[in-house]
A and B are shown apart, each in its own frame.
Chain A
Amino acid sequence: MEPEDVEPGDAVHPGHPVTVNRYRKIARINHWITATCLILLAISGLALFHPSLFFMTGLFGGGQNTRAIHPWIGVVLFFSFAGLFFQFWRANMPTRTDAVWLSRAGDLLAGHEERMPEVGKYNAGQKFIFWSMTVLILALIASGLLIWDQYFTYLTTIPQNRVLVLIHSLAAVVIICVWIIHVYAAFWVRGTLRAMVQGSVTGGWAWRHHRRWLRELVTGHKVSP
């Protein structure tokens, strides 16, 4: 029993089907602000990363505006993600089950979820996304601030800046890949998206994918009539 798996607002509503509250409104708003920032950052960053994508600066009103706005979106993303971090970190701490889950990840991908161990609010894959995002966003904000020519480049030498800009671009590539996995998983596992849109999932979804979380909610009397 790992009660830290249960996050504020999680609750079961009996019915036909059962519905389970998974994300509060504040978490959902927080998530979609972060998501919007990340997408805008990816578009504006890629536009400056490769000449073939420079045309995308048009979406931001030209190269000068893209250069000016990209770091500010990054600042918003940082604080927005910090909001998600403090809401989700406890339930994303690694557990023994994660090792078992990871060792059987191939079965999950092959379509045999019944072979997976019962997991709490987040499985090891979701925890991987959470911690990858955390580490990469920290790397991106730190390197990004130091190469922010308008305000902070004076803090570092030119050779340091070269390394920082390389780190920034590589971290950005990795976070885009992590983002692709995150988005794909949310669509592949049907019924997931509504957790972040309406805030709830069906009892069957919770039973199938996060059974221990569902059990904890039920036995912990987080069942509202």
Chain B
Amino acid sequence: MDPIHTAQTNPPVQSVPPQFSEKDLIRRSASSVPAPARQLEEVAKLIDVSKCIGCKACQSACIEWNDTHPAIETNVGSYVNPHDLTPDMFTLMRFTEWDNPQTGNLEWLIRKDGCMHCADPGCLKACPAPGAIVQYSNGIVDFVHENCIGCGYCIKGCPFNIPRISRVDHTAYKCTLCSDRVAVGQGPACAKACPTHAISFGTKDDMNKLADSRITDLKSRGYDKAGLYDPPGVGGTHVMYVLHHADQPEIYSNLPKDPKISPVVKAWKGIAKYVGFAAIGIAAAAGLLHSSLVGANRVTREDEENAERLVRDKT
């Protein structure tokens, strides 16, 4: 097999101009973009959970590159630290002790959680703020903080429970797939730091090939259910997993088996808008029509006289 360019390959040392920009957007939240003139090669991050040793170098690299400062938390008897994704922790090793019913072995499953960079991003669909969430033609889904209003709709849209709202600046945060690094020919910080090459980065085609070779290897070693996690329900993702038990992704800290944008979110962002506008329009139009057909309901002179007579008679 041809050598595959991954993040471990040394990046260019000379200064590189950004290789993609706003001109390469294929989606922009609550607004539209002109069709881009070129199609970038799709990129992907491949996370091979069978190679992960749970060292959290990826978390450290992510914190360092993004200059975030996750709060120090308390040990509650789990290696998961911090306890969940936060606005300051875009990726998180999730540890699961799984009792394999077939072999009786206790398996320690470690999954690096974070944004999956869906081809059909639910966050972007739900976002009400123009340009707060964008998608580039290379597959990267990015949050643009100056446009974010902090409403939390992206959280409702996401099928993977990824975005987190900062209590400091009231905007949403998640993994950017290191779009700033990728733009200048570097791989994501987590992939760069991974000591076992469990995290690879490159074109989606290359990552699929790499995944195939890994799955073949895993199958040859008895993991006959090994496979790639690239869920079609969200159009595929630009962060993919090699799982040794690909038939049951939910054992890896509830990785959804068939993620898709919730039908409730689709209804809210689709038919509800049209039905809502139609209903309001019909109500207003009915008023206008009625007033032009029937005219005002006016008190007559007779009514006033009747009222005066009533009052006079009774007092």
| Residues on A facing B (Cβ under 8 Å) | 12, 14, 16-18, 48-51, 54, 57, 62-64, 66-68, 109-111, 113, 147, 149-150, 153, 158-159, 161-163, 165-166, 169-170, 172-174, 176-177, 180-181, 184, 187-191, 202-208, 214-215, 218-219, 223
Contacts and interface: CB of A to CB of B under 8 A. Distances in A.
A220 to B, nearest CB: 10
Nearest to A64: B149
A189 B297 contact: yes
A51 B267 CA distance: 16
B5 interface: no
B288 to A, nearest CB: 9
Contacts of A48: 128, 149, 151
A68 B165 CA distance: 13
A176 B280 contact: yes
A188 B130 CA distance: 39
B185 to A, nearest CB: 34
Contact of B279 (A149, A166, A177, A207): A177
B76 interface: no
Give the dominant DSSP class at B's interface: helix
Given A67-B149, A173-B279, A188-B297, A162 B306 contact: no
B299 A190 contact: yes
Contacts of A214: 307, 310
A197 B311 CA distance: 24
Given A64-B170, A165-B156, A177 B280 contact: yes
Contact of B170 (A68, A176, A184): A68
A170 B276 CA distance: 7
A6 to B, nearest CB: 15
A218 B307 CA distance: 10
Contacts of A163: 264
Contacts of A170: 272, 276
Contact of A207 (B150, B151, B161, B307): B307
Given A67-B170, A207-B303, A214-B307, 9 more contacts: A12-B311, A17-B304, A51-B31, A64-B149, A173-B279, A180-B287, A191-B298, A205-B303, A208-B303
B280 A204 contact: no
Contact of B299 (A51, A184, A204): A204
A18 B297 contact: no
A174 B279 CA distance: 8
Contacts of A165: 153, 156, 268
Interface in B268-293: 268, 272-273, 275-277, 279-280, 283-284, 287, 290-291
B234 interface: no
A180 B283 contact: yes
Contacts of B314: 218-219, 223
Given A109-B290, A180-B280, A18 B311 contact: yes
B276 A17 contact: no
Interface of B: 30-31, 128-130, 147, 149-153, 155-156, 158, 161, 165, 170, 262, 264-265, 267-268, 272-273, 275-277, 279-280, 283-284, 287, 290-291, 294-308, 310-312, 314-315
Query: Which residue of B155, B299, B314 has the most chain A CB atoms within 10 A of its CB atom?
Result: B299
A215 B311 CA distance: 9
A188 B155 contact: no
Given A161-B155, A177-B279, A203-B311, A169 B268 contact: yes
B126 to A, nearest CB: 9
A202 B299 contact: yes
A184 B161 CA distance: 45
Contacts of A208: 299-300, 303
Given A111-B297, A149-B165, A153-B152, A51 B284 contact: no
B308 A149 contact: no
Contacts of B296: 188-190
B310 A205 contact: no
A158 B276 contact: no
A187 to B, nearest CB: 8
A158 B157 CA distance: 9
A158 B294 contact: no
